[in-house]
Structures are given as C-alpha cells and as structure tokens.
Amino acid sequence: MSDVAEPSRPAAAARFDELHDLDGTVRPHWRAFARTLTQLSPEEYARRKASARATVQDNGVTYNVYDDKAGQARPWQLDIVPFILSAADWKAIESAVIQRAMLADLILRDVYGAQNLIRQGVLPPQLVTGHPQFLRPLCGTRPAGDVHVHLYSADLARGPDGAWKVMASRADAPSGLGYALENRLVVAQTFPESFGEMRVARLAAFFNAYRESILGLGQSRRDRAVLLTPGPYNEAYFEHVYLAHYLGLTLVQGDDLAVRDGEVFLKTLTGLEKVAAIFRRVDSDFCDPLEFRGDSALGVPGLVEAVRSGGVVLANALGGGVIESPAMDAYLPAVSRALLGEDLKIPDIATIWCGTEWGRKEALARMDQSILRNAFDARPLFSRRSSARLGGDLAGAERERILAQLRHRGETMVLQEVSPLGVAPTFEDGKFGARPVSLRVFAAWTPTGWMVMPGGLTRVAADDTVRALSMQSGASSKDAWVISNAPVDTFTLLGAGGRTLEIKRQGESAPSRAMDNLFWLGRYAERTESFVRILRAVASRVSDEPASALDVARKLLIPFSQASDSPIEEILDEHELLGELQLLLYHPRNSRGLQRLLGRVEQTAWSVRDRLSLDTWRTIHAITVNEQLPDAEAPFEVAGTRFYLDALVRRCAALSGLSAENMTRGPNWLFMDMGRRVERAHHLAWLVRQTVASTDARENEHIRILLEIADSAMTYRSRYLNVFQLVPFVDLLLLDENNPRSCAFQLAAIESHLRELPRITLAQRSDVPRTIAAEMRGAAANAHPARLAFCQSGERPGLVELTDGIVSSATELSDAIADAYFQHASRSRTGSGQYLDGV
C-alpha cells in the first residue's frame, strides 16, 4: 500500500494517467514528489508558484504567440509540477529516439544524394520531390562530416494503453531546447529538496556534447561560432538569446553575416571575422535568398555556396524539412527496415497517405472517425493555421471540398488516427488534477554516437477539450524529470572545468547590427525620458495653472501633436488640452504618442536582449509595461497621470544609472551612451530654441519650467537662488560642460566616445563623425551667453544660430556614425531626420 495520500483518480478512462496505476495507486516514481506536494500548506505552495512566475517574468522568458493580445512579450507559461519519468520508461524512450535520429540523418543523406529509397520503391517520389521543403539546389551537396542532423526532436505522447507514440518530429531547425533548460532552472529552484533527493538526471552534459560536436567539425576552433536567429519577431527569440548565452555563441541575424570566396564572415566594428560554425534557428528555405526564397530577408546570400565549398559548418544542415511532413510517417516503418534493418521501436500515430488508390478508399471509409490534413503540413495538429480537420466535424460545402480534394488530389492529403493524449498531474487548491500532455525529446549527434537529453519540453493543454498541444495555441509547459538509478552527473557549463582562465579586459568584437541597436536604444530611451518630462510639466499645471499648461503645451508638444483632430497650436482651452493629453499618453496606436515610443524602446531592447544585464532588462520591462493603463477614450485624471509619469521618470533614471554604473566601458556601453548623448544634445538645443528664441512676457516662467524639464532647477538655484534671468539660464543649459544635463556636456562626451572607437575601415578612417563632433563642441565653446541672449527685433539671432546648428549637426552626426560603423544594417529607423519628424 502506498504511503502517499491518494488523490481521486480522473474519471476519463480513455486517457493514460501518468500519476496513477490501474488500481488507482500512485505510481512508484511519483510517490516521493506527490508526498512533497501533499505536505505543503496551501500558502507555501502558492508562495512557490508565485516565486516561479516572478522568476519567469523577471528573466524576460517569453514566447511570442502570433495574434495574442499580449503581443510580442507574452510571458512563458510554466506549470511548476514536473512531468516525472521512471528510469525504465526513459530507457525505452532514449533507445527509440536515437533510432529515429539516426534514421532522419540517413534519409536526408539519401534524398539529397543517391535517392535509393525512391529507386527501390520504398518512398513514393511525390513525398520527396513534391514536398515544398525539398530544396533541389542541395542535391549532391555533402555537409561537413556528412552529418545532416545535429539536433533532432520527437514529440511523444501516450496512447490509451500507455504505449508511447510519436506525434511529430523535427530535423530542420528544432525548437524548445532553451525553454526546456529554463524550465529546469526554475523548477529545480522551486523544489530544491525533491530535485536533489530524487536523483533527477542533469542536462549540462548534453548541451556540452551538442556544442562540442559541432565545433569539432569546423576548420578551426579559433574562428567564431554563431547562433543564427530570425530576429526578435520570431516566436522563440528568447530561446535563441538564452541558448547563445549558455553555449557561449554570438547571436546573429542574417544581415550580420557575409559570404566571401566560399567562406562566411561576421561583420563587426573592426571588420570581417571568419565564422567556423553556425547553429541555425532559421528555416532552411529562408537561409539563402540567392538559392531558395528570393523574398527572404532572414538569410545570408551565398550561404549554400559556402556549404558546398566546405567553408562553414551548418547545424542542422539545410533541407531537413522534407522529412517532417505527416505523409512521411506512413512510410517510416518501411524506411526503417530498409535503412536500419529493424522495426521502429516507437511507432508514429497511424497515418495513411491518400496518394494511392488504396489510401483514398481507406480515407473515404474512415474519415468520420479520423483526422484529415495536408500531406506536407508539419504544424502541430489543430494549432493555428493547421490544415487538420476532424472528419466527423466536416459538413456542407467544406465536406464536399475535402471529398473533391481526396478524389482528384489525394497525394496532397493524409488520414491520421484520433488518439487521446495521456494526462499528467497538475496541483491546485491542495488537490491533484490532470491535463493532456506531450513530451518533446531532443537528441544530439556526437562523433561517438547519438546522445539524448535526459528530460525534455513537456507541453500541457489548458483543459481536456483542447485539441492542439502547441505553444502557439496557448499551451503551457512543464519541466521533465528523468529519475536516474545511478548517481547523477554534476558536470556544469557554468564553471571553468578545472581550467585556469586567461585574463581578458574585453570581449570579442561586437557585431555592427547589435551596436546599431544599442545606439538607438540609447536614443529612444532618452527621447522617452524627455517626452515624459514635458508631459509631466504640462499635466502638473493643468489644474492650478491652466494658462501656463496651455502655453507649455503649444511650445513643447509640437513634435507630438495631432493626436486628435486639431494641431496642438490650435488648442484653445483646458478641455481640449486634456483630451489631447489623454490621447498622447495612453492611446496605443497613436504614432506620435507615448505608448508607441515605449514600444520602440522595448522592440529595440528586445533586439539586443543578449547584451543587456538582467537588471537592465527588468528596468526596461518596468518602463514599457502597459498593463492597467486607463482607456484612451476615458476622461483625463490628473492625479493618476502624475503618479504614472513620476514612476516613468524614476524608471528612466534607473535605466540611465544602470547603464552608467553597471556596463563595462566597451562597445556596448559606448554606443548606447553615445546614442543617449546625441539625443539629449539634439533635444536640449531644440527645447531652448522653442522656449526663448523670441522675447515673451512670460519668459521667466518659461525658464523655470524648462529648468524643471531639463532636471537642472536645483543646480540653477544653488548658483542664482530664485532669480531667473536669460544669460545664466542659457549658460547652464547650453554651454556649461560641468552640468551633465547641458548641451556642452553631451558634446564633450560624444567627442570622448568617438576617440575610443576603432578606425580600421576606410569609412572609419575618414573621421567624418569626429569632425562633426569637434565642430559642434567648438561652436558651443566659442559662444558667449550674453551674445546668445542678445535680442534684435524681438528675436535672438545668436541663440537661433547655435541651437539650429546643434540640431542639424546632431542629425548629421547620427548619420555619419551609422555610415562609419553600421553601414551594413538595412533596417530603417524612425527619428534619423529632423526632430519634428522624429517621433
């Protein structure tokens, strides 16, 4: 009899229950953990669950679900109760996954080589040559070491009888490895006692073998190894950032790489650096626009030629998508016997290809109890944009259309069995529940044979009615614990492995694109803070000083105007101003509003997530989070708005402080800080011109407000008390190099930063950025505050000339820096022109 308090067994007998035996008792490998859960108080379990959720959010773990209302930064959904596998179960899974990984590699070697499987009638030619992912330019191409598959994954699920079945497999660019690792780190911290006592197999040795095996195929270990990502809009971008960091790889996008004479190079600030290995996370057909999809902006032109010439190791090799189709499942048993001389150790879900007369007859006879789908659709069953349909659900015109397709184009369809997924335990309110699950298992090629990661990515359905088990369809995840009969391996990738490390004062040369994004992160962050300070100055005066608020708004909100139907200059009263402020502050789709600007900060930061510390990322997330904001159409609420803007100012200051105090003085910091300085100089010069370029009866009031916006009021009062005059004001904000908020301070910092940058390429040696910066600083240094304040016919020509010169030169400087250091970057930027068009 079990010594664990027995939860009630789920009533659904049609599904295999991972927690319970047939007699309702807890399975042996679950007992220790079930005991731990039932002994936790509800408060302690809730605390651990909340801690895990906070860790996921703080670490920025996201999965970008397309069309999801949470948008680009949907938090990763993690159930803290792990999926536990016995040593016996795992032994069977491991053997079967190794068999399938070997088989996948042999199939690809054949279909892009001799094509004996087609010649011998084992595979119908339509399944290969008719597959959209069969890439003909690769025929006859042998990848490095003749290894096509370096990383393989299989999605497994239990049938009603408890037997495992393969639901899908991935051999092109398998995903989920990084999420499985993150799940492990979070859940192991959530239940540290159980994790240690239960002998859970560790993952680090697998990741090390995966990395070292690929690097070992390269021509030189001294050359770069990179992880190629589609970029921040990809659903698994967090995983790419995480894996690159964990494996010690440089994260790159397609436009970071260039092919020269059959070799691949990384574009860095100091020139081209040879790349020996590419860990690929871009689908094959997007990888080379010269050979495959001409509309792809994700790949590297000439990459296939580099592979042909042996100039780079690509892992996985290109073309693996051809074996991921469901139609291939119908023929895998025969292929396994032909290539390996053995039956599959774990079968696929029963699949019939409708490209034969027998297949079409079977499909017509069984369709009401089966699933119909496109023969080449590798998406998870019933996930978004999946072609899968339950035959019993078809009716009317849709049923007639499917029947016509079966009769006339049966080779494009398959029939698959309906197999209820096994359920794994969940735990809520002190009780066990159950949800359908599938397990993604990973295998890595090594020179000594295949190695399976002891665990995997477990996906959990939201409820029993969900047909799709994919993260794109909103499933959550679990960690997978494999119980070991032997002492666990304590190897870690986070240590030095007993080696004495060589002292380094700087890292590897930085990719130009990353520096471009950091430069613009600095600009957008500073632009956000400036805008917030202006909005706060207006909002704080709306109630008590409406005339002053209107005056400030008309002068300083011009770049952000036209949120409503009327330009800001035409707003006549407080009521219209409040409506304009509400739209500027809270409307998510206002192209000139605060939320759109915050979105640019988040988007740019997300692009360089691998170069930002965890604290920096958390601060950016705190700045850009838009939860619980009032509706843009709601009445303007002064107190709530001031609280929101005050919080934003503090968070922007925290980000500035983190970059100033926590970033090492390398390229990352140089470009981010230089972007901030360029933006601040540009903005300050524009603010001063807008405020005091012309005489005004309210000039002293304008000076006081602008000192507040520029965060220089205390400095001014410490020098001049409360006597507001134009000459000391102009000197403090434009000319004083000791004031970190002045134009002169920014120009001095820019000139200093430019001296630290490399001068290797012809564009860099031309010294255009340095020349512009020196001229800007010289103009400020030679200016006299009294001359700038001199008034002629109601205008101040000296001040206008200096401020206009700084504004235009700042734009020229930004472009010159891009030409010298980011010239390969193809992405256009909002804000590279004049300030009035820059938001």
Strands (E), 340-460: 351-353, 370-374, 389-390, 413-417, 423-428, 431-446, 449-452, 457-460
Which pLDDT value is given to residue 782?
Answer: 95
User: Quick check: is 50 in a domain?
Assistant: no
Q: Which of 370, 386, 417 is a domain's end point?
A: 417
Angle between helices 667-692 and 512-539 (to 10 degrees): 30
Q: Which of 643, 662, 681 is a domain's end point?
A: 662
- DSSP, collapsed to helix, strand or coil, labels residue 377 as coil
**Residues 687 and 746 placed together within one structural domain of the fold:** yes
pLDDT digits (tens, 9 = 90+) for 182-195: 999 999 999 999 99
Average pLDDT over residues 317-337: 95
Smallest Cα–Cα separation from 261: which of 232, 322, 218, 302?
302
CA 115 to each of CA 128, 138, 143: distance values in angstroms, whole numbers, following the listed order: 10, 13, 16
User: Quick check: is 207 in a domain?
Assistant: yes
**C-alpha 213: how far from chain center:** 26
Which pLDDT value is given to residue 70?
Answer: 45
Average pLDDT over residues 732-739: 95
Q: Which of 647, 662, 677 is a domain's end point?
A: 662
**Residues 77 and 178 placed together within one structural domain of the fold:** yes
- What is the percent of the chain where pLDDT is above 70? 91
Question: 221-231 as b/e, with b when 16 or more CB fall inside 10 Å?
Answer: eebbbbbbbbb
Smallest Cα–Cα separation from 590: which of 617, 612, 565?
565
User: Quick check: is 490 in a domain?
Assistant: no
One-letter identity of residue 2: S
Which pLDDT value is given to residue 12?
Answer: 43
CA 277 to each of CA 77, 108, 292, 312, 508: distance values in angstroms, whole numbers, following the listed order: 32, 20, 21, 6, 16
pLDDT digits (tens, 9 = 90+) for 570-580: 666 778 888 88
Q: Give residue 766's pLDDT band: very low, low, confident or very high (50, 70, 90).
A: confident
Q: How many residues does the chain have?
A: 839
**Residues 392 and 440 placed together within one structural domain of the fold:** no
Which pLDDT value is given to residue 71?
Answer: 46
pLDDT digits (tens, 9 = 90+) for 131-169: 999 999 999 999 999 999 999 999 999 988 889 999 999
pLDDT digits (tens, 9 = 90+) for 430-472: 788 888 999 999 999 999 999 999 999 999 987 776 655 665 5
Average pLDDT over residues 10-21: 69
Q: Give residue 776's pLDDT band: very low, low, confident or very high (50, 70, 90).
A: very high
Number of domains, the chain: 4
**Residues 524 and 587 placed together within one structural domain of the fold:** yes
- What is the percent of the chain where pLDDT is above 90? 61
Cβ–Cβ contacts within 10 Å for residue 740, how many? Answer: 14
Which pLDDT value is given to residue 628?
Answer: 78
Which pLDDT value is given to residue 613?
Answer: 86
DSSP3 helix / strand / coil % (the chain, rounded to 5):
50, 15, 35
SS (H, E, C) 535-556: HHHHHCCCCCCHHHHHHHHHHH
pTM of the model: 0.83
307 is written with which tokens?
């592979």
User: Quick check: is 599 in a domain?
Assistant: yes
User: Quick check: is 368 in a domain?
Assistant: yes
**Residues 448 and 470 placed together within one structural domain of the fold:** yes
User: Quick check: is 109 in a domain?
Assistant: yes
Q: Which domain holds residue 726?
A: 664-825
Average pLDDT along the chain: 88
Which pLDDT value is given to residue 566?
Answer: 55
350-354, 514-518, 591-595: range with lowest mean pLDDT: 591-595
Which pLDDT value is given to residue 239?
Answer: 92
User: Quick check: is 341 in a domain?
Assistant: no
Instruction: Report DSSP state, residue 27.
Output: P
**Residues 207 and 302 placed together within one structural domain of the fold:** yes
**Residues 784 and 803 placed together within one structural domain of the fold:** yes
**Residues 425 and 411 placed together within one structural domain of the fold:** no
577 and 549 Cβ atoms separated by less than 8 Å:
yes
> Please, which residues bridge with residue 527 across strands?
none
pLDDT digits (tens, 9 = 90+) for 384-428: 778 888 888 888 899 999 999 998 999 999 999 988 888 899 887
User: Which of the pair, 76 or 708, is modelled with greater confidence?
Assistant: 708
User: Quick check: is 17 in a domain?
Assistant: no
Average pLDDT over residues 371-390: 86
The three-point CA angle 327-333-336 to 5° equals 115
Which pLDDT value is given to residue 495?
Answer: 58
Smallest Cα–Cα separation from 601: which of 683, 532, 524?
524
pLDDT digits (tens, 9 = 90+) for 674-687: 999 999 999 999 99
Which pLDDT value is given to residue 74?
Answer: 67
Q: Is the pLDDT of residue 5 over 60?
A: no
Q: Give residue 288's pLDDT band: very low, low, confident or very high (50, 70, 90).
A: very high
Which pLDDT value is given to residue 474?
Answer: 63
**Residues 655 and 722 placed together within one structural domain of the fold:** no
96 and 477 Cβ atoms separated by less than 8 Å:
no
Taking the C-alpha atoms of residue 26 and residue 5, their distance in angstroms, rounded to an integer, is 9
Which pLDDT value is given to residue 555?
Answer: 82
**Residues 750 and 813 placed together within one structural domain of the fold:** yes
Smallest Cα–Cα separation from 176: which of 76, 102, 83, 42?
76
First to last CA, the chain: 70
**Residues 733 and 792 placed together within one structural domain of the fold:** yes
Taking the C-alpha atoms of residue 245 and residue 1, their distance in angstroms, rounded to an integer, is 47
**Residues 668 and 761 placed together within one structural domain of the fold:** yes
Which pLDDT value is given to residue 142?
Answer: 93
Q: Is the pLDDT of residue 19 over 60?
A: yes
Q: Which residues contact 637 (CB under 8 A, 6 or more apart)?
A: 630
205 is written with which tokens?
């040795």
